[in-house]
Amino acid sequence: MSDVKKIKTALVSVFYKDGLEEILSLLNADGVKFLSTGGTKSFIESLGYSCQAVEDLTGYPSILGGRVKTLHPKVFGGILNRRDNEGDRQQIAQYDIPEIDLVIVDLYPFEATVASGASDEDIIEKIDIGGISLIRGAAKNYNDVVIVASKQQYAPLAEMLKASGAVSTLEQRRWFAKEAFAVSSGYDAAIYNYFAGADADDLRITLNGQRAMRYGENPHQKGFFYGDLNAMFDQLHGKEISYNNLLDIDAATQLMAEFGTEPTFAILKHNNACGVATRDSILKAWTDALAGDPVSAFGGVLISNSEIDEEVANEINKIFFEVIIAPSYTAEALNVLEQKKNRIILVQKQPAPRSRQFRSVLNGALVQDRDTAIETPDMLKTVTKIAPTAEQIDDLLFANKIVKQSKSNAIVLAKSGQLYASGIGQTSRVDALRQAIAKAQSFGFDLHGAVMASDAFFPFADCVEIADQAGITAVIHPGGSIRDNESVEYCDAHGMAMVTTGIRHFKH
């Protein structure tokens, strides 16, 4: 038996009508009969097409306030009957059940209703019953039936109808069934998460839209992104975004989310900041961010919280970088930046997500709340005899924002709103500090009067001793070590200020 099947009857019952007109026109032109309910039936008839009411087929009206419309053997028998099964053919003939070859249906907007802050009663009413049953039934019988489960599949259906008329192949029907089960599984996951709230015993995540990467972290690994990247960014120019680009872009947006509206520029490499500066203009911020590590900036990801103009673009254009992210660009700036054809230019439209984080581990997944804690001056506890000055407090908080978004063990050295250097990803906090000091000195920074931030407490006083010898005068860390008093005593004896936050910022 041929796997090509003719579409003779279509059941159409949708919440969203936009985009449907073209499909109905194509189906009608091929002599397809329509079966529908309520508002969709009226829409079909308004286009001048004949349409049978589901109520006339079943002999039952829509009841229970619309909760029961299509749930009837004459509807589901028409969808689920197997055309090559003799027993099925006999039964549909016996009960006068018409074959339904195409089902176009969508679901009540449950997630949008939840997001709107609607009442529990209104949310429950948006749990679709008939629609989800039609989707599952038609998808199960994909051997004979085409299922279109959302308006996102209107375009592929229209393409199929234009190419070959009202017929479908088994391959096409199976593809539509796969898409339909993606819709139904995502819908059920949203309902489960609503009922479970914060007490979920199971993890249910659905992300629509697969985006194939050129490769994963390395060329021999496949890589994919699931989600709607276009909701966060407009890509104005450049090559396809890679897997590693996305990791850096995520790190960059999370870092910039720590800062307010004061002009700030950051340069990242391998998910860590190698240059950050806050200044009274974005040009100065760029200049001082680059000065923090002009070597690592090569091939990096740049991010600004302010518009990029032509003057800034000309300075940025002097180095090679892969990605730039900003809220906007002037036309003149784009003319400069687009001189490199592969350079990725992104406009950030939404803030970085601040919800939960997920990570695959062993044969399962770890889930945690994002670290959204941002320390403020009133949260700092001065533990030394000498209190930090107002300028030092500004620098301590600045450094703390950077160390929070750096790989542990991490130490950040900063002064006057500029990242001098960081030691990151070290197995020893002492090594992280020594790395930061050596790096700062290699780029000619005078560390006298600089501050130090640590993502976790100091288990011994050795780090403050090394910092003091380098000229650092103020320290911020979470505190909490059983030997905190040793670090405090050293600071008191050597004129250093120390504050604790009580908040640890490990990052793996």
Active site residues: 140, 270
Helix residue ranges, H only, 141-204: 154-164, 170-196
Distance, in Å, from the CA atom of 134 to the CA atom of 149, rounded to the nearest integer, reads 9
CB 11 within 8 A of CB 23: no
- CA 304 vs. chain centroid, Å, equals 20
Helix (H, G, I), strand (E, B) or coil at 368: strand
Region for 185 from its dihedrals, namely left if φ exceeds 0, alpha if ψ lies in -120 to 50, beta otherwise: alpha
Any idea what the Cα angle at residue 190 is, between residues 186 and 191, rounded to 5°? 120
Instruction: Please give the backbone phi and psi of residue 256, each rounded to the nearest 5 degrees, phi first.
Output: -65, -25
Compute the CA torsion angle 320, 322, 327, 332 (nearest 10 deg).
50
Distance, in Å, from the CA atom of 437 to the CA atom of 420, rounded to the nearest integer, reads 9
CB 309: neighbour CB atoms within 10 A?
A: 18
Among residues 439, 433, 440, 424, which one has the least CA distance to residue 461? 433
Among residues 51, 48, 49, 105, which one has the least CA distance to residue 76? 105
DSSP for 402-454? HHHTSPSS-EEEEETTEEEEEE-S-SSHHHHHHHHHHHHHHTT---TT-EEEE
Helix (H, G, I), strand (E, B) or coil at 35: strand
Distance, in Å, from the CA atom of 312 to the CA atom of 304, rounded to the nearest integer, reads 11
Instruction: Please give the backbone phi and psi of residue 52, each rounded to the nearest 5 degrees, phi first.
Output: -85, 135
Among residues 196, 264, 221, which one has the least CA distance to residue 414? 264
Among residues 477, 482, 481, which one has the least CA distance to residue 500? 477
CB 258 within 8 A of CB 401: yes
DSSP conformation class of 471: T
